[in-house]
Amino acid sequence: MNERSDHDAENRTAVSLRNFGYRYDDQVEPALHGLTLDIGVGEHVAIVGASGSGKSTLCQLLHGGLSRSGEGERTGELTVYGMDPATTELATIATTVGVVLQDPDAQLVQGIVEDEIAFGPENLRVPPAKIEQRLAAALEAVGLASERGSFVRRLSGGQRQRTAIAAVLALEAPLVVFDDAAAQLDPPAVRDFVLLCRRLHGAGRTVVTASGRIDDGVRAAQRVIVLKDGTVQLQGPPEKLLREHGAQLAAWGLLPSSVGREDRPREPGVNSGSAANCAGQPLLEVKGLPFTYPGSQRPALKGVSLALAPGDRAVMLGENGSGKTTLGKLLMGLLPAPRGCMWWEGQDMAKLPIHQLAAGIGYVFQQPEHQFAAATVWEECLYSVRAKVGLRIGDPVPAAYEERAHRLLAAARLNHRLEASPYLLSGGEKRLLSVAAQFILPKKLYILDEPTAGTDYEGANILLQMCTEQSAEGAAFLLITHDLQIAERFAGHVFRMEEGYLYRTEDSGSYHTITVDKN
């Protein structure tokens, strides 16, 4: 190829990898290895892989952040629009590559939504008039125009994710990378996200999405790249991959499989209006619960009522900002409960100290790393045990707890990562660890907030199996989720939150996966 041809090829290539690899300092095996692929300018590509496949690592390397952190070693070559993102001036990379991380809270730095979105353009010295134009366009693109002046910390997880997307859009970079950016979005917002990717692609942007499942967003891409064990296993148009490799994709956890599906009858018991149908005294009872955040004029909850009995499996659906997470935090005591509205085992929760609630209620955060407290997977799993019996990290724990920890981590497929940092696990692995850490001390009720967000289908199946085993021992569950398969497979009772009101859904099977018209 002559010099002119080399130049033309470079101009047509947005991302180029040649025998590329990356290994984290605390791992023996590389997270990525032998990657050789190109992504063309203006191409819409979906990178798909199960938890731990290396897709998030690749996304973070495209804007150079991971390379500059000094946490690992690169091999081979990586260029973005002809530049090495690890060594190119930061301002240049920021105007070339926009990346939405898997955890939106990791990249939100301002207190107000509009300040967050304007932060990047301001640092790049974009003129004020153009910043305002970009701000308005980005807010409109993600459906957050009404939240422009809201506090970021008071937004739902999905709304914070949309804020992070808007902040990246405001940079107007030619390459936009979304690392599981739809993981915490409700079905309508997922549909809007897919349409946003199509609009960006139609406008000539290069769009790269990463996901643990072959979903509507993946099907909308021109090309799908399947990663497994840190390298490319398959690639091609989504329709072709589904037609020719569907069984293999399902075996890798990227498509749902009917194997092990739990088609169980719905259980009677819980009632969204009262505890009348519960056998005996309910574990948890809520009657007419209101809640408004301090300084807000808009109620987050409006007269919510429900009851949960031992062994109940309840799932709560609802759009972003509908009040699901607010209710979950109130039930756990992480927000102050109004008096006379919530009872735990017959006692007013407003009068109970949080340590007493924590002894009976396990809570898994929407972002699991927000509750990690130890340096290794093993110690994280045993952290609450040590706190309960007054042991320091490193001290031996009672044999029964050690055996239970081994069993839980094996069930979570983390028994080979015992000495790894919880913070360096994949997103799906973090969620499984956070659940295992809650199960180490048996509780009467578990509240899981978006437990399968960003996981592949295999990870979701593992998590549901772990929950099923605890349920068989008598524990009650409330799963707050957008994952409709959980409602169909796990729930005995399905609730739906809408604008602060809680409704009972009798037939969870009526909720189905959304589709996007590709015409």
Measured over the CA atoms of residue 453, residue 456, residue 462 and residue 468, the dihedral's sign is positive
SS (H, E, C) 359-421: HHEEEECCCHHHHCCCCCHHHHHHHHHHHHHCCCCCCCCCHHHHHHHHHHHHHCCCCCCCCCC
Cα 240 to chain centroid, rounded:
28
Q: Which domain does 460 fall in, by range? A: 311-341+348-492
Asked, for residue 423, whether it belongs to a domain, the answer is yes
Asked, for residue 69, whether it belongs to a domain, the answer is no
From residue 376, give the alpha-carbon distance in Å to each of 50, 102, 387, 424: 22, 21, 16, 10
From residue 149, give the alpha-carbon distance in Å to each of 115, 144, 145, 162, 163: 9, 10, 9, 15, 12
Q: What is the Cα–Cα distance from 39 to 207, expressed in whole angstroms? A: 9
Picking from 248, 451, 428, the residue whose alpha carbon sits closest to that of residue 364 is: 451
pTM (two decimals): 0.80
- The number of distinct structural domains making up the chain is 2
Chain position carrying tokens 């300040």: 115
Cα 83 to chain centroid, rounded:
31
Contacts of 207 (CB under 8 A, 6+ apart): 43, 44, 45, 176, 178, 197, 200, 201, 221
Question: Is residue 114 a contact partner of residue 168, using CB atoms and an 8 Å limit?
Answer: no
Express each pLDDT in 154-194 by its tens digit.
Answer: 888 888 999 999 999 999 999 999 998 888 888 888 899 99
Express each pLDDT in 109-131 by its tens digit.
Answer: 888 999 999 999 999 999 999 99
Asked, for residue 510, whether it belongs to a domain, the answer is no
Asked, for residue 211, whether it belongs to a domain, the answer is no
Question: Is residue 22 a contact partner of residue 73, using CB atoms and an 8 Å limit?
Answer: yes
Q: What is the Cα–Cα distance from 326 to 301, expressed in whole angstroms? A: 8
Asked, for residue 280, whether it belongs to a domain, the answer is no
42: left (phi over 0), alpha (psi -120 to 50) or beta: left
Query: Is residue 54 over pLDDT 50?
Result: yes
Query: Is residue 10 over pLDDT 60?
Result: no
Residue 274 — pLDDT band, cuts 50, 70, 90? low
Question: Is residue 32 a contact partner of residue 22, using CB atoms and an 8 Å limit?
Answer: yes
Task: Give the pLDDT confidence score for residue 468 in this predicted structure.
Answer: 93
Asked, for residue 206, whether it belongs to a domain, the answer is no
> What is the share, in percent, of the chain residues with pLDDT greater than 70?
91
Please give the mean pLDDT across all residues of the chain: 86
Q: What is the Cα–Cα distance from 151 to 136, expressed in whole angstroms? A: 17
Question: Is residue 60 a contact partner of residue 66, using CB atoms and an 8 Å limit?
Answer: yes
Q: What is the DSSP letter of 104?
A: G
Which residues partner with 39 through β-bridges? 15
Q: HSE of 506 in the Cβ direction (CA atoms, 13 Å)? A: 0
Asked, for residue 414, whether it belongs to a domain, the answer is yes
**What does the pLDDT average to over 56-80?**
89
Q: Which amino acid is at 519?
A: N
Task: Give the pLDDT confidence score for residue 264 in this predicted structure.
Answer: 39
Question: Is residue 319 a contact partner of residue 300, using CB atoms and an 8 Å limit?
Answer: no
Of 118, 141, 172, the last residue of a domain is: 172
Asked, for residue 35, whether it belongs to a domain, the answer is no
Residue 506 — pLDDT band, cuts 50, 70, 90? low
Question: Domain holding 390: CATH number?
Answer: 3.40.50.300
Residue 413 — pLDDT band, cuts 50, 70, 90? very high
SS (H, E, C) 133-201: HHHHHHHHHHCCHHHCCCEHHHCCHHHHHHHHHHHHHCCCCCEEEEECCCCCCCHHHHHHHHHHHHHHH
Picking from 438, 308, 307, the residue whose alpha carbon sits closest to that of residue 362 is: 438
Question: Is residue 283 a contact partner of residue 512, using CB atoms and an 8 Å limit?
Answer: no
Query: Is residue 484 over pLDDT 70?
Result: yes
Q: What is the Cα–Cα distance from 479 to 365, expressed in whole angstroms? A: 11
The number of helix segments (H) and strand segments (E) in the chain equals 17, 19
Question: Is residue 433 a contact partner of residue 462, using CB atoms and an 8 Å limit?
Answer: no
Task: Give the pLDDT confidence score for residue 26 in this predicted structure.
Answer: 76
Of 155, 172, 189, the last residue of a domain is: 172
Q: What is the Cα–Cα distance from 486 to 483, expressed in whole angstroms? A: 6
Q: HSE of 250 in the Cβ direction (CA atoms, 13 Å)? A: 11
Measured over the CA atoms of residue 181, residue 187, residue 189 and residue 195, the dihedral's sign is positive
**What does the pLDDT average to over 405-428?**
92
Query: Is residue 491 over pLDDT 60?
Result: yes
Of 172, 206, 229, the last residue of a domain is: 172
